[in-house]
Amino acid sequence: MTNDATTPEAGRIPNKGKLAKDLNEVIRYTLWSVFKLKDVLPEDRAGYADEVQELFDQLAAKDVTIRGTYDVSGLRADADLMIWWHAETADQLQEAYNLFRRTRLGRALEPVWSNMALHRPAEFNRSHIPAFLADETPRNYVSVYPFVRSYDWYLLPDEDRRRMLADHGKMARGYPDVRANTVASFSLGDYEWLLAFEADEL
């Protein structure tokens, strides 16, 4: 029998504040890499899959996590596969990327788009932690979009920016099944931020 006074509310994460504080001390790089097939694969592809799985297992032992692999064929005319990975350092991700490119599957693919980012505490809401960093279960789908804020944004007073971001966050409350991953990418590529929204339905 539980004591109602100590039972956490449904959907509430116990000790969320402490968890966020601890996770905000973590530096974690993440990378989304998109490829297209340049060669027709043979009908028997078991060896290809086995080789990639073996590599992914080796990477996991080095703290390189494959968050997901995604079939993006048809969503873009120039892409077939996306890999989402994260690690403690950018060097680890670059090594993982290059090792994948050396597999038989990797040699049959051409890079289309790849961008790296890292977790930094949110500007005004330090409790906002990316789902991948909180070790939430990966969802079936992910929508990744990069963006750059306008110069005008940085000319606004802090209180205006805080209010606008809070209003923006409130709009997502009706979609608790969509998990957000907002990470900084300034100077790591062409964008200031990368956002990845995960959900079990597209």
For 110, the token pair is: 């051409």
Tell me the torsion sign for CA atoms 120, 126, 127, 128: negative
Catalytic residue of the set 97, 145, 154, 175: 145
Return the closest-CA partner of residue 62 out of 35, 33, 31, 85: 85
Question: Residue 64 class from Cβ within 10 Å (0-12 exposed, 13-18 middle, 19+ buried)?
Answer: buried
Whole-number Cα distances in Å, 68 to 56, 116, 122: 11, 15, 24
Helix (H) or strand (E) holding 146: strand 141-147
145 is an active site residue? yes
Instruction: Please tell me the distance from the alpha carbon of residue 130 to that of residue 68, in angstroms, as a whole number.
Output: 15
**Residues taking part in catalysis:** 145
